[in-house]
Amino acid sequence: MTQEAPFTDLVAELSGRLPAEVVVTDHDRLTSYQRDMASFCPAGKPVAAVLAREVAHVQHVLAVASRHGVPVVPQGGRTGLSGGANAIDGCITLSLERMDRIVEIDPANRIAVVQPGVKNAVLSRAVAEHGLFYPPDPSSWEISTIGGNLATNAGGLCCVKYGVTSDFVRSLEVVLASGEVLRTGRRTAKGVAGYDLTRLFVGSEGTLGVITEATLALRPASHEPRTVAALFPTVAAAGDAVARVVAGRHVPSLLEFMDQASLRAANAYRPMGLPEHAAAMLIAQSDAAGDQAGADIAATASVFADAGGFDVVEADDAAEGELLLAARREMHFALEELSTGRLIDDVCVPVSRLAEFVQHVEKVSADVDLTIAVVGHAGDGNVHPNVVFEAGDEDQVRRARQAFDEIMRLGLAMGGTVTGEHGVGMLKRDWLAQELGPVSLRVHHDLKRMFDPAGILNPGKVLA
């Protein structure tokens, strides 16, 4: 691709200290580095993509970009759902996918040191060979990278027991806008020296610096899980069951929710005989040691039944448990089959108000006359309403946007947050401003200016 005059010097300087294969300027190849998987988020045209292979490459890109005042958009696997990795016109997209080395696994200290391009599932399998476990497990774990997980502070199915990505980050190596390398945190399990810069960068979506290495805490391998599933006649009954489980003494390692629209989509995608007259389904697991897992699941099954659940099924073994969970795991693909457009939301509300939230979403669905399928991590109140529409129908697109905004409004009104794990990106930056309020928003802008005074790091993302 022929570069326009304003960018000729930039590309020449970029290429001057980087291997030829690292810098991409071909128009057709650049289209692969324009966007993530989010709907309703515009994507611009980058002037170049840099496929970094080492920290020095990242440093060079940021130093050059700072001198030229050119935006840099960091990217991982581009599996995000909020537009956080979308290019803007004239930017450099900085792909970290090829920095994919597991630097170290240290069983004695239960840590792993990884580069940002390592896929979540690859890390999980590698540490499992050492009898260890990396708990954060977003549904996209086979294709999402650790760098992307760090950028959005990703969660997953196991959050109800183990927490989110930030709970497992010991230290980071971050390249600042100037090209300088900052190291935060430490390898040790404890340490309170200085401000907690590590948590500041986790979830910052590449707007404060570019993460090039992470030291992650690990846990001993979990035990084979026991599973129970139940159907419910009403969403209220399912919500009551969730509240009882969370308030009880048995801590599930997984507690997932599917509404009626989701059950129907699952049956259409892969016939599983799920009763479509049920208003909701809950699936719970326990990975406790020994007989405790069985006791946990028996207690959970009893709670489900007492709350009005029917067809309460306890899996006989892990394989049967995976079959019960299959519909939930495949929901992303099942909903893709319904239409040409889908807007995936990510709201977290207090667990006690989960049923109320879902019932309000059902009303929104009726008001806009669009299917909204709700699945999510019931144990921590993080649900994903999926607004389904035809992308070529302007009126449906308008109604989908209306539904999205109403869902955001509902989440905040119920004391929740506009994102539990997908991040803000471009999709929710206006709603973030409403959630934060003026004082917190000002502090956010002050922090952004301190780390990125020229505003080159992922501009237009997170902060309006």
Q: What is the pLDDT along the chain (464 residues), one digit of tens a residue?
A: 344 556 788 999 999 999 999 999 999 999 999 999 999 999 999 999 999 999 999 999 999 999 999 999 999 999 999 999 999 999 999 999 999 999 999 999 999 999 999 999 999 999 999 999 999 988 888 899 999 999 999 998 899 999 999 999 999 999 999 999 999 999 999 999 999 999 999 999 999 999 999 999 999 998 999 999 999 999 999 999 999 999 998 889 999 999 999 999 999 998 888 888 899 999 999 999 989 999 999 999 999 999 999 999 999 888 888 888 888 888 888 888 888 999 999 999 999 999 999 999 999 999 999 999 999 999 999 999 999 999 999 999 999 999 999 999 999 999 999 999 999 999 999 999 999 999 999 999 999 999 999 999 999 999 98
Look at the block and give the residue holding tokens 């610096």.
209
pLDDT (0 to 100) of residue 250? 86
Helix (H, G, I), strand (E, B) or coil at 137: coil
Torsion angles phi and psi, residue 230, rounded to 5: -150, 150
**On the CB side of 144, how many CA atoms lie within 13 Å of its CA?**
25
Contact, 253 vs 234, CB < 8 A? no
Q: Provide φ and ψ at 322, rounded to 5°.
A: -65, -35
Q: Could you tell me which residues are beta bridge partners of residue 284?
A: 228, 255
- CA distance to 353, 381, 409, per residue, from 415 (Å): 9, 11, 10
d(CA 176, CA 156): 29
E-only strand ranges, 378-419: 382-389
Class for the domain spanning 102-220 = alpha beta
CATH superfamily of 226-413: FAD-linked oxidases, C-terminal domain (3.40.462.10)
Phi, psi of 103 (to 5 degrees): -70, -40
Residue 322 belongs to what H/E stretch? helix 318-329
With vertex at residue 62, the alpha carbon angle to CA 442 and CA 462, rounded to the nearest 5 degrees, is 30
Sign of CA dihedral 120, 123, 125, 131: negative
Helix axes 260-269, 318-329, angle to 10 degrees: 110
What is the pLDDT, as a whole number, of residue 101?
Answer: 98
Architecture category of domain 5-95 in CATH:
2-Layer Sandwich (3.30)
CA distance 142 to 364: 33
Residues near 293 by Cβ (< 8 Å), separated by ≥ 6?
223, 224, 225, 226, 286, 287
Position 2 scores a pLDDT of 41
C-alpha–C-alpha distance, residues 55 and 98, integer Å: 11
pLDDT attached to residue 323 = 84
Residue 200 burial (C-beta neighbours within 10 Å; 0-12, 13-18, 19+): middle
Residue 1 confidence (pLDDT): 38
Residue 384: partners with Cβ closer than 8 Å, 6 or more residues away: 344, 345, 346, 347, 374, 375, 376
The domains of the chain are located at 5-95, 102-220, 226-413
